[in-house]
Structure formats: C-alpha cells, structure tokens
Amino acid sequence: MIRIAKAACVAAVFGLASQMALAGSAAGLWKTIDDETHQAKALVQINEGPNGELNGKVIKLYQHPDAVCDKCDGANKDKPVNGMQILWGLKKDGEEWSDGKILDPKSGKIYTSGAKLIEDGKKLRVRGYIGPFFRSQVWERQQ
C-alpha cells in the first residue's frame, strides 16, 4: 500500500514539473484566433531551435485549407499556406520573445514580431509591429 502511495506521489510530482516546464516554453501546438472575427484560423507548430529562437509553421488551416499566399513575395509567392513558416527568429528576452518576424499570409506582409505567454502558459499573445504600431492576437495552446 505504501509503495502505491509513493508511486502516486512521484507521478504527481513529475506531472506538475512537466506542466511547469510547459508553462515556461512557447514551443508546442497553438490554435490561432482571428483578431477580427474571433474564429479559429489555423494550427501553428512552434519549435525552439538549438539557439533558443522560436520558429512556427502552419500545420492546419480551418477555414480555407487550400489557401495560397498570392500576395506574398519571393519564395512564398503562390505557395500553400498550409505547411508555410510564418514565424521565425524570436529570441528570448526575459519573460517574452522579441526581434522575430511574422508573416501575415492574408496580406503577404512581414512584420517584426514578439510573443509572450499569458494565463500560465495556456495562451500566447503574439504581436506584429510596424514602428510604434502593433496588432495582437491571442493563440490557444493545444494538448
């Protein structure tokens, strides 16, 4: 009986530790929410590179799964948005990530980007900047 109790305690401690680690990292699967319509737009997989930079790519589109980036320039021109890298180069800066880039496939524009975990890591506030002006979205962590 004592062994079962000890095993349960160890499992609870490891579960809590993994949740705490998850809360400190933006790596994972995120559902993007349109800041105008408040509808789910896409699933984005964010990975943390060996240098600690965050990069993210679209792995599923909800509303227009066959959308292409017709307003993009360069290598992304007329390429499918599904599978496209839309977030790159975000560097850890205290409690936030900054100095990255984010692509808006709808407009084809690339913005300076930052991100911050909120609500104990359950949500990610992502911002795109042009000078002092910015637009924010709150993405929801998926399990």
pLDDT (0 to 100) of residue 1: 47
Query: Does the pLDDT of residue 10 top 50, yes or no?
Result: no
Q: Given this model, what pLDDT does residue 36 score?
A: 82
Q: What is the pTM of this model?
A: 0.82
Q: What is the structure's pLDDT at 20?
A: 37
- The separation between CA 91 and the C-alpha centre of its own chain, rounded to angstroms, equals 13
- All structural domains of the chain, each given as residue ranges with its CATH number in brackets, are 26-142 (2.40.128.520)
Q: What is the pLDDT of residues 68-116, one digit of tens each?
A: 999 999 999 999 999 999 999 999 999 999 999 999 999 999 999 999 9
Q: Which residues contact 72 (CB under 8 A, 6 or more apart)?
A: 78, 79, 103, 105, 108
Per-residue pLDDT tens digits for 116-131: 999 999 999 999 999 9
- Using 50, 70 and 90 to split pLDDT, how confident is the model at 35? confident
User: Is residue 143 very low, low, confident or very high in pLDDT (cuts 50, 70, 90)?
Assistant: confident
Residue 98, burial from CB neighbour count under 10 angstroms (0-12, 13-18, 19+): middle
What is the distance in angstroms between the CA of the first residue and the CA of the last residue of the chain?
A: 33
pLDDT of 137 over the 50 cut:
yes
